[in-house]
Amino acid sequence: MNPPDRFATDLPPLDPAIAAAVRQRWDAKTKPLGSLGQLEALALQVAQIQGREAPAIGSTHVFVFAADHGAARAGVSAYPQDVTWQMVMNFLAGGAAISVLARELGCSLSVVDAGVNHDFEPAPGLVDAKIAHGTASYLEAAAMSAGQCRAALAAGRALALESPADCLLLGEMGIGNTASASLLMHHLTGVALAECVGPGTGLDAAGVARKLELLERASRRHGLGRGDADALAVLATFGGFEIAMLAGCLIGAAQARKVVLVDGFIVGAAALVACRLAPGLERHLVFAHRSAEPAHRRLLAELGARPLLQLDMRLGEGSGAAVALPLLRLSLSLLANMATFESAQVSRAS
């Protein structure tokens, strides 16, 4: 793929008139004002994303982006790198959590090989978008070149734009990607690295301490800014191919007025990158849940995001996004189908 000279980040405007119209619709329903709480805000947000007063979701698709990280070989994860490609096979065979959830919810599912260190045979549901067989180790050099970074962003954006689905659920798989997400968060927000690093796939206290020491070394090596660092430079230095494709997909989904459910900490880090590249993007994103990864709470706060759920999940794969999908569907059904005081001939509060 030949990356464009400029990665397109323009977003459609959110019309305040649509928001006002949806508020009037909610206020006319047979209920006390605001009594459906966050469900009302959710339907209003979807209406603005879609640019219509009667929001609706038809087809829904799950994208799980998978890639390997060179730094994983240094021990930033509790699991060996081979787990990435093995889990891709599990997704395709229908045995992973997101596979089960997608079936139960009636969602189609694709696994995107963004840069797994394995050669897959063609298979139904597998999208070959491989940039390389994993990134370089950011402990030694930049994880990817500027060209690779832009190619990954463009590939993710293209997948969103080309998808016929109204709603996208985004997940990831990549041994070592919580470490990458921690570095992205640290350099793009200025939050202390110790507050951005957690157990990931299950490191014990000693493992977390070793992970933090490795990431501090990587951070010092590259000498990037903190808080106001260039998002593309930070992404190329520390990001995985799956995180870059996720960032591009988030932007593409917003440009196509698709509703997108953001999963946990790693997809949240991709959203942070995407929001730096496309200011205002956070208003186009629905944040599904707050993960048990300790830094996720702070990351959501940095994005001004209010997640729909808190279930102590930390699996990834898009599982939290899938669990939140019924709430999205219910909020739109309530807006569409509840009676009004007038139609039901119910007296309003005095």
CA dist 136 to 115, 117, 127, 145, 210, Å? 11, 11, 22, 9, 20
Q: Maximum distance among all alpha carbons in the chain?
A: 71
Instruction: Identify the CA nearest to 43 among candidates 59, 62, 24, 61.
Output: 24
Contact 59, 164 (CB under 8 A): yes
- The DSSP secondary-structure symbol of 35 reads T
Q: What is the DSSP letter of 106?
A: T
For residue 282, indicate whether it is catalytic: no
CA dihedral 187, 193, 195, 199 (to 10 degrees): 110
* Pick from 209, 156, 155, 220: nearest CA to 183: 220
Catalytic site residue from 282, 293, 302, 317: 317
The catalytic residues are: 317
